[in-house]
Structure 1
Amino acid sequence: MKKFFAAALLLAPFAFQPVFAATAQQQKMAACNKEASDKKGDERKAFMKECLSSKPKVSEAQKAQQEKMKSCNAEAKDMKGADRKKFMSECLKKSG
């Protein structure tokens, strides 16, 4: 009986993953629906298609972080293991 509960506890997080994905899609649908409230017919259909297929916008801060990550990765290309991890940590903490 204990083995059953242990297995159930280990598998429980995987059982609910589709629910979270559907919720994210539902939230996107609701947001697009709200934006399209003043549109009708083909205009609404085209807007909804574009809105639902669009990727989230990336902020300037996120772009800066991505650039910093690329730069640090390029500098650490020959490093491995703990040395790389330490270097990346320090490099990413540096400002600008």
Structure 2
Amino acid sequence: MPYGLKDEDFAKIQNKIAKKLYEIPSLDRAAFLVECTEQELREAMSELRKTPKSKGKIEAVERELRNRGNKNKKTKFFPNDLEEKRFAGEWTKVCGRIRGNERC
């Protein structure tokens, strides 16, 4: 029995991930979504957007995709290349002073 969805609306869902999200309780969604691939989640999103009463499920999938995106991001310390080059030059000068010569 799907949670919060009519049987005829549930029968229209073609995506297995979207179907499973209606079958499991909301507390178990996060654990289930962790096991899915990013491609599967994106396909489920398109199906969920067509289905009524799927706001909470869409939010759960979006949250999982955001979490994966944040883990894959590379931390950028300098806002642009010029500042990075400036820092590298200053760092080289400081290294030279520490070692006793002017260049590293």
Normalized against structure 1, the TM-score is what? 0.24
Normalized against structure 2, the TM-score is what? 0.23
Structure number having the greater helix percentage: 1
The structure with more radius of gyration: 2
**Which structure exhibits the higher relative contact order, with contacts defined as CA atoms closer than 8 Å and separated by 6 or more residues?**
2
